[in-house]
Amino acid sequence: MKFQHKRRRWISLLVAPIMGTISIGFSGSVVEAQTGCEPICDPCAPVQQVIPCVPSDTQYSGADYYRAPDQHVSPATPVTPAPQQAIPETSSNADSQSVPSQSLLSPSDFSPPITDVNLSSGLATNFGSGGAGSLAFSDSFVTPGYIESAKIQTRVRLRYDNMTGANKPSRGQFLYPSLGAFGGDGPPDGGIGGGGGGGGGGGGGVGIGGGLGSADVDLEQVSTYIEVALRERLSIFIDVPIRWIGPINFGGQAGFTDGTQRGAGDISAGFRWGLIDCPNEHLTFQLRTTLPTGEPLRAIGTGNTTIDLGLLYDQQLTSKLWFFSEINDWQTLDAVTLDPATISNPNLASQDANILRGGVGLGYELFRGGSCCQPKKLTLLTEIVAWTVLDGVTTSLDPNVNTVEDATGDTIVNGKYGLRYNQDQNSIYVGYGHNWTNDRWYSDLFRLEWQRTF
């Protein structure tokens, strides 16, 4: 197990500097706002037709459109004085000229074109804007269904997940806690989480009651995700889940009820930094920390603090095709160690885990309608997500068996398929995920999601 600890630490020491170097390198190359972005034609109508979306009493809205005030130049000397101000007569004098009224400047009057000019800056006027041109191109961007979005933006998301058929739910404590991993130092009665609910012998330790009561475990989760863009390239976020998991059998332990358990899960939060922030391309570094706020004794939480470092990328390849990808390194920070005397393999007592996750996906636009001001779009999304356990263990589902298995090398691959409908600033996603490998977090997953951007 010492070798596994050293290997995990070496991986951590290698991954963190690599991601930091990439972050610093890309940040330096794009320090001037949008200088690396390729020019893109505005998919909306000409500026004159877009103006109805902009209040008539304002001079600018967002970062893209500018309404010039009426300009009148009076002649130097009126022809005849009058008690009331009147429109002066045209004079042939070279000193006295009348400039016609101009209420709207055309894009050709500016260099660069007006749609490339960002008239706003700072937190107050660029709050959650995501960069110059974002207003004109906001309807062109597509959020994937399972891969993390790389676009920095202010948004609220409500997501419902239904996962069924987890055969080794405690693998690496990624989704579920390890049976019998919490409490004091004494051995659990009847093995890991077994007997009288994993009472922990004299040490007061507890498992997940009497263990998970079936060959498979099902999980339902509703999560609320809020992201706030503080700057064009920087945002912070928080994700709060509520879980239903079961069935769980506590073996008659006092204070616990058999069956499906429900409650608030582990809360995660972090920040996102945009390394590339163009209208049609984004590369983002993301750091996510998960806190053990859920109750691990009932499998609502994992009982561990974790950190997740990720690089997220997306690009619009054509007018109808988008590409998405991600790579993440997930690690536990404070996992407990089981009593080696109570498990089948004493070398696997540590519950520390390190899991690498990656994914690629494509989005294809099936339908586009509405107007530039009120766009509507339907996109087909196909994604592949894979996990590899670099370090970790899994425990038996049977509460009467104290088996701990090495999960290092376990690889899980899932296919994800869904549709996303966008209208104005709102979008709805409906998707299905299916496991492709013998190892699995779940057999099938159904996802329903609503998102609103600001």
Q: Find how far residue 399's CA is from the centre of its chain.
A: 36
Pick from 61-70, 376-385, 436-445 the range whose average pLDDT is largest: 376-385
Mean pLDDT, range 107-122, rounded to an integer: 47
Quick one: pLDDT at residue 81?
56
- The tens digit of pLDDT for each residue in 305-335 reads 999 999 999 999 999 999 999 999 999 998 8
* pLDDT reading at 204 higher than 60: no
Query: Which of the two residues, 87 and 2, has the higher pLDDT score?
Result: 87
Q: Looking at 59-68, 133-142, 254-263, 394-403, which range is the least confident one?
A: 59-68
Q: How much is the pTM?
A: 0.68
Q: What is the pLDDT of residue 177?
A: 81
Q: What is the pLDDT of residues 366-416, one digit of tens each?
A: 999 988 778 899 999 999 999 999 998 887 655 555 678 889 999 999 999
Alpha carbons within 13 angstroms on the beta-carbon side of residue 126 total 21
Q: Give the three-class secondary structure for 61.
A: strand
Averaged pLDDT score across all residues of the chain: 73
What was the pLDDT predicted at 275?
97
The angle subtended at Cα 37 by Cα 35 and Cα 40, nearest 5°, is 130
Rg (CA), the chain: 29
Asked if 165 and 442 touch (Cβ cutoff 8 Å), the reply is: yes
Q: Which residue, 199, 228, 225, 223, is CA-closest to 211?
A: 199
> What CA–CA distance (Å, rounded) separates 313 from 147?
10
Q: Which position has the higher pLDDT, 86 or 449?
A: 449
Q: What is the pLDDT of residue 319?
A: 92
| 394 phi and psi angles, rounded to 5 deg | -135, 150
Residues in the chain: 454
Question: Residue 431 has what pLDDT?
Answer: 98
Torsional sign, CA 331, 336, 338, 340:
positive
For residue 106, give every residue at least 6 positions away whose Cβ sits within 8 Å of its Cβ, in sequence order, or none.
47, 48
| Range 337-349 average pLDDT | 75
- The yes-or-no verdict on residue 257 having pLDDT over 80 is no
Residue 102 CA from chain centroid, whole number? 46
Whole-number pLDDT of residue 365 = 96
Strand partners, 413: 386
Alpha carbon 47 to its chain's center: 33
Q: Residue 260: what pLDDT?
A: 85
Percent of the residues in the chain that have a pLDDT greater than 90, as a whole number: 42
Whole-angstrom CA distances from 323 to 246, 315, 430 are 36, 5, 19
pLDDT of the residue at 44:
45
Q: Tell me: the pLDDT tens digits for 171-195? A: 888 888 875 555 433 333 333 333 3
Is pLDDT larger for residue 306 or for residue 259?
A: 306
pLDDT tops 80 at residue 249: no
Span 37-45, mean pLDDT? 53
Residue 150: the pLDDT is: 97
Question: For the domain bounded by 140-181+203-453, which CATH number is listed?
Answer: 2.40.160.40
Structural contact between residues 67 and 56, judged by C-beta atoms closer than 8 angstroms:
yes
Supply angle C-alpha 226, 265, 385, rounded to 5. 70
Bridge partners, residue 239, by sequence: 225, 268
User: In whole angstroms, what separates CA 105 from the centre of its chain?
Assistant: 40
Concatenating the DSSP letter of every residue in 367-394 gives EEEE-SSSEEEEEEEEEEEEEEEEE-EE
What is the band of 340 on the pLDDT scale with cuts at 50, 70, 90?
confident
pLDDT (0 to 100) of residue 348: 80
Q: Encoding tokens for residue 67? A: 């309404």
Kindly report the CA angle at 214 between 211 and 217, in degrees rounded to 5? 85
**Rounded to an integer, what distance in angstroms lies between the CA atom of residue 333 and that of residue 182?**
15
> Higher-confidence residue: 246 or 202?
246
Q: What is the mean pLDDT of residues 243-263?
A: 79
pLDDT of 105 reads 55
Mean pLDDT confidence for 39-63: 45
pLDDT value of position 37: 67
pLDDT above 50 for 363 = yes
Amino acid identity of residue 88, one-letter, is P
